[in-house]
């Protein structure tokens, strides 16, 4: 499918050329079947959306939907999140969504958690100053971990935070779209955690 990229070369700074416009670029990391990416693209045509994941069999569902519906502002990138900066130029991305990532509960796998400092260091290389970072998860331990990390991360400001999203007054894309997992958790009465942060940029290096 022409809107599915697998380890493409020479893409940093070229996504606007692919989409044929200069609309803001929104990224979903660990997109799974792509349901959230597709939902965003359909509801908010004023941006372009890319879902990223390593598992192509899952991504096929969203990619097929995009093809069949003729959606022009959505694409998919098959890659490991650890390599994300390979495919985007500094400041090329306006928003990054992390939706229901694997909580990686074992302490030894802390570096594998998508909201961890290790991944924040990657996200903020491609996220523009003033760009936003979002997290949705049913896992309260992962959310507590992410909150602790994001609160002290240089240049990142948490602007919305809830341990029960659908009981809060938060609206917009956070509640307008639900993943398959999210629907399942809500049906079981499990609250959804949500956090939104603004990246103000890294401080400039001191002059020598």
Write out the catalytic residue numbers: 102
The token pair at 108 is 């030894």
Which residues fall within 8 angstroms of residue 204, CB to CB, at 6 or more apart? none
What is the spatial distance between Cα 198 and Cα 159, in angstroms, rounded to a whole number? 7
Question: Among 30, 44, 62, which residue's Cα sits nearest to residue 136?
Answer: 30
Q: Which long-range contacts (CB under 8 A, 24 or more apart) does 8-14 make?
A: 8/77, 8/87, 11/87, 11/88, 12/86, 12/87, 12/88, 12/89, 12/92, 13/89, 13/92
Indicate if the alpha-carbon torsion angle 87, 153, 25, 138 is positive or negative: positive
């Amino acid at each position: 499918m022409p809107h599915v990229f697998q380890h493409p070369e020479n893409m940093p700074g070229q996504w606007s050329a692919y989409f044929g416009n200069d609309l803001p670029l929104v990224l979903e990391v660990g997109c799974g079947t792509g349901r959230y990416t597709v939902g965003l693209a359909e509801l908010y045509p004023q941006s372009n959306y890319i879902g990223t994941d390593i598992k192509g069999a899952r991504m096929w569902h969203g990619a097929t939907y995009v093809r069949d519906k003729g959606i022009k502002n959505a694409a998919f990138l098959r890659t490991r999140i650890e390599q994300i900066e390979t495919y985007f130029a500094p400041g090329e991305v306006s928003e990054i969504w992390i939706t229901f990532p694997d909580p990686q509960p074992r302490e030894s796998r802390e570096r594998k958690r998508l909201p961890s400092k290790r991944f924040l260091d990657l996200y903020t290389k491609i996220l523009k100053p003033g760009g936003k970072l979002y997290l949705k998860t049913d896992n309260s331990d992962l959310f507590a971990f992410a909150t602790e990390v994001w609160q002290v991360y240089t240049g990142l400001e948490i602007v919305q935070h809830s341990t029960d999203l659908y009981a809060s007054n938060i609206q917009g894309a956070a509640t307008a779209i639900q993943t398959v997992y999210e629907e399942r958790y809500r049906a079981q009465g499990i609250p959804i955690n949500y956090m939104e942060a603004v990246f103000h940029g890294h401080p400039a290096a001191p002059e020598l």
